[in-house]
Chains A and B, each alone.
Chain A
Amino acid sequence: MITIPYLTAVSTYFSYGLLFAFGQLRDYSRLIFDWCSTNNLHGYAPICLAHEDFYIRRLYHRIQDCFNRPISSAPDSWVDVIERYSNDNNKTLKRTTKSTRCLNLGSYNYLGFGSFDEYCTPRVIESLKKFSASTCSSRVDAGTTSVHAELEECVAKYVGKPAAIVTGMGFATNSAIIPVLIGKGGLIISDSLNHTSIVNGARGSGATIRVFQHNTPAHLERVLKEQIAEGQPRTHRPWKKIIVVVEGIYSMEGEICQLPEIVSVCKKYKAYVYLDEAHSIGAIGKTGRGVCELLGVDTADVDIMMGTFTKSFGSCGGYIAGSKELIQYLKYHCPAHLYATSISTPSAQQIISAIKVILGEDGSNRGAQKLARIRENSNFFRAELQKMGFEVLGDNDSPVMPIMLYNPAKIPAFSRECLRENVAVVVVGFPATPLLLARARICISASHSREDLIKALKVISKAGDLTGIKYFPAAPKKQEEEKDRIKLD
């Protein structure tokens, strides 16, 4: 639940109105300038329509240096960020050869597999020497190696389903699989804050799409009742299939899905449940098995479980886990399996090794240590930020914590101030978030040490004071000291 001070909401609208007005003024003057100058491209259609591009040209480009920062080292807890400069007010950015070592609060490196790992990396290098960097083929032609077969078995066992299929790209897993599962005459009910990959897949399937209020099982039930009663649009025939799509952890809010209630609603109305665990697999739950383990939901109740390997496993690609018949059907029909290049073999080996470490099958307890550390780090960081007066979203135990900024001017201010103090944060604004709710999203990793977190807190507090984002009153200091004493004891 996001609580905004009313004055901040009004001032944010004012700011966006001003930016919009200035953007329109500049567009009009550009129109006049171009009318006077000659154009040697007569008869050619414009590449993109002027109004479609407006947001990118007039708002995004002004603060371009806060996004897409190139890095020159592995995304560990500390990362080398390459410095850039601009001679034309951020329209183009040029890289220099210098880089700064910054604390990395932006990478989805939840379990610390993002850099050299003593168990995984030697095995990946061995696999690279044996199988080479790419299979150069799709899975059905010549792209299935023994490592791929082992990976699918390993993933299915880890997630708790009978079978799994693995694709080479996480985004493409959603956008290529959803059109195969459902088509015209079906109904997709998706959470209002679902990721673009799900939206793309749903739009590409041709099914009717309805949206329910974020994480509200009561509204989902209302939408289901209404849609089942009405049937397909215009013909009012019963729906061929209903799939409800939810995510485990929502990456922009850090909130954990209310899975038990949603599964019970879907069971009642006989709809299928599609769970996207991109951010929650490997990061939450006692053995890292995701949101089902955390909330005590039987994996047999969730029909299709999807996830990606980019966040907790330090690799690339995505998987779908389900019943044997479902996976068999997907292997015959899914274009990501039939035509796309298979996941590269060293990356597959990285995933297998990472899963072995998490489950403790490599003979050490590093996996359990990592899981405990990420939970501890997330809870400590979130509690400290809330004590300082920041508005932090997300549930306890979730390693994603967005700090609300709201005003558009605070987005670049916070980001640049943090970079000046050698802390790299990710800031997000419209259109990835609603207009009013711009935020800085912090991702905590198991590889962050306590000193790293304390340094980050100091820097964020200073940047927060400068930009004025401590919207809540800070907890009084005496209580803080007492709590610290109790913690140490």
Chain B
Amino acid sequence: MYVRALPTTDVNRNTEWFTYPGVWTTYILILFFSWLLVLSVFHCSPGMAWTIVHLAHFTVTYHSFHWKKGTPFGDDQGIYNRLTWWEQIDNGKQLTRNRKFLTVVPIVLYLIASHTTDYQHPMLFLNTLAVFVMVVAKFPHMHKVRIFGINGDQ
């Protein structure tokens, strides 16, 4: 089964890989396989495993999308040094398909995690906090906003 890879107009090499086919499927498959991994390593209940996956997903994606700034290449000459990855994708255009997909994934994870743990505390509290922070960080109004100067430039 073949797909076409059309070259994009995105010049930022840090984000243009996200416009090619197969990324969304890989993302979902990684989440599913990590759930299986957590289940087999920790011998916990499925709900607990989903909570662990949700919180790990929150940590990893918050750090890489909303905390780390700039690009891993020196020859971009620092033009993206003030922008996080989330602010760089799609050239800063808001509400594109990629952004909508990336906003929906933590919400769906939250729903699965809370459903499979039967909405018990303390998992519910942690999950809710995580999804709240994730979704607020992805709002269009939060583009280039640094609350209280956290993660601002020196």
Q: Which residues of A are in contact with B by a Cβ distance under 8 Å?
A: 1-7, 9-10, 12-14, 16-17, 48-49, 51-56, 192-193, 196, 199, 203, 211-214, 219, 430-431, 434-437
Q: Which of B3, B25, B72, B77 contacts A4 (CB 8 A)?
A: B3
- Least Cβ distance of A335 to chain B in Å? 20
**With A13-B23, A431-B73 as contacts: A211 and B9 at CB distance below 8 Å:** yes
Query: Can you show 17 pairs from A to B with CB atoms below 8 A apart?
Result: A1-B6, A3-B2, A3-B3, A4-B2, A4-B5, A5-B3, A13-B23, A14-B26, A17-B30, A53-B72, A54-B72, A192-B9, A203-B77, A213-B7, A434-B16, A435-B16, A435-B20
B9 near A436 (CB under 8 angstroms)?
A: no
How many interface contacts (CB-CB < 8 Å) are there between A and B? 96
Q: What chain A residues lie within 8 Å of B3 (beta carbons)?
A: 3-6, 9
Q: Tell me, yes or no, whether B68 is within 8 Å of chain A by CB.
A: yes
Q: What chain B residues lie within 8 Å of A55 (beta carbons)?
A: 72-73
**With A430-B13, A436-B22 as contacts: A2 and B29 at CB distance below 8 Å:** no
Q: Scan residues 64-81 of chain B and give those whose CB is less than 8 A from a CB of chain A.
A: 68, 70-75, 77
Most buried by B among A4, A53, A196: A4
Q: What chain A residues lie within 8 Å of B6 (beta carbons)?
A: 1, 213
Q: Tell me, yes or no, whether B150 is within 8 Å of chain A by CB.
A: no
Q: Tell me, yes or no, whether B96 is within 8 Å of chain A by CB.
A: no
Q: What chain A residues lie within 8 Å of B17 (beta carbons)?
A: 16, 430, 434-436
The interface bits of chain B over 1-39 (1 if a CB of A lies within 8 angstroms of the residue's CB, else 0) are: 111111111010100110011110110011000000000
Q: What chain B residues lie within 8 Å of A203 (beta carbons)?
A: 77
B13 near A13 (CB under 8 angstroms)?
A: no
- Least Cβ distance of B28 to chain A in Å? 10
- Least Cβ distance of B88 to chain A in Å? 14
**With A434-B16, A435-B17, A437-B5 as contacts: A6 and B22 at CB distance below 8 Å:** yes
**With A2-B4, A3-B5 as contacts: A13 and B73 at CB distance below 8 Å:** no
Q: What chain A residues lie within 8 Å of B26 (beta carbons)?
A: 9-10, 13-14, 17
Per the CB 8 Å criterion, the residue count for chain B at the interface is 29
Q: What chain B residues lie within 8 Å of A192 (beta carbons)?
A: 7-9, 11
Q: Which of B4, B20, B21 contacts A1 (CB 8 A)?
A: B4
Q: What chain B residues lie within 8 Å of A2 (beta carbons)?
A: 4-5
Knowing that A1-B4, A4-B4, A437-B5 touch, tell me 13 more A-B residue pairs with CB under 8 angstroms. Answer: A2-B4, A3-B5, A6-B3, A12-B22, A14-B26, A51-B72, A52-B73, A55-B73, A192-B11, A203-B77, A431-B73, A434-B7, A436-B17
- Least Cβ distance of B150 to chain A in Å? 18
Q: What chain B residues lie within 8 Å of A196 (beta carbons)?
A: 75
Most buried by A among B22, B26, B70, B77: B22
- Least Cβ distance of B13 to chain A in Å? 5
A214 near B7 (CB under 8 angstroms)?
A: yes
- Least Cβ distance of B9 to chain A in Å? 5
B4 near A9 (CB under 8 angstroms)?
A: no
Interface of A is mostly: mixed
Q: What chain B residues lie within 8 Å of A54 (beta carbons)?
A: 72
- Least Cβ distance of A220 to chain B in Å? 11
Q: What chain A residues lie within 8 Å of B25 (beta carbons)?
A: 6, 10
Q: What chain A residues lie within 8 Å of B68 (beta carbons)?
A: 51
- Least Cβ distance of A187 to chain B in Å? 15
Q: What chain B residues lie within 8 Å of A17 (beta carbons)?
A: 26, 30
A10 near B22 (CB under 8 angstroms)?
A: yes
Q: What chain B residues lie within 8 Å of A16 (beta carbons)?
A: 17
- Complexed CA–CA distance, A196 and B73 (Å): 14
Q: What chain A residues lie within 8 Å of B7 (beta carbons)?
A: 192-193, 213-214, 434
**With A6-B22, A214-B7 as contacts: A52 and B30 at CB distance below 8 Å:** no
A52 near B71 (CB under 8 angstroms)?
A: yes
Q: What chain B residues lie within 8 Å of A211 (beta carbons)?
A: 9, 11
Q: What chain A residues lie within 8 Å of B16 (beta carbons)?
A: 434-435
Q: Scan residues 58-99 of chain B and give those whose CB is less than 8 A from a CB of chain A.
A: 68, 70-75, 77
B5 near A436 (CB under 8 angstroms)?
A: yes
- Complexed CA–CA distance, A17 and B75 (Å): 22
Q: What chain A residues lie within 8 Å of B9 (beta carbons)?
A: 192, 211-213, 219
- Complexed CA–CA distance, A291 and B70 (Å): 39
Q: Which of A6, A14, A193 contacts B2 (CB 8 A)?
A: A6
Q: What chain A residues lie within 8 Å of B75 (beta carbons)?
A: 196
> Closest B-chain residue to A16, C-beta based?
B17
Across the A-B interface, the 10 shortest Cβ-Cβ residue pairs: A9-B22, A435-B17, A13-B26, A54-B72, A214-B7, A2-B5, A3-B2, A52-B74, A211-B9, A55-B72
- Complexed CA–CA distance, A281 and B92 (Å): 39
Most buried by B among A17, A53, A435: A435
> Closest B-chain residue to A192, C-beta based?
B9
- Least Cβ distance of A449 to chain B in Å? 35
Q: What chain B residues lie within 8 Å of A435 (beta carbons)?
A: 13, 16-17, 20
- Least Cβ distance of A207 to chain B in Å? 15
- Least Cβ distance of A2 to chain B in Å? 4
- Least Cβ distance of A10 to chain B in Å? 5
- Complexed CA–CA distance, A183 and B67 (Å): 35
- Complexed CA–CA distance, A48 and B75 (Å): 11
B70 near A5 (CB under 8 angstroms)?
A: no
Q: What chain B residues lie within 8 Å of A4 (beta carbons)?
A: 2-5, 21-22
Most buried by B among A2, A12, A52, A211: A52
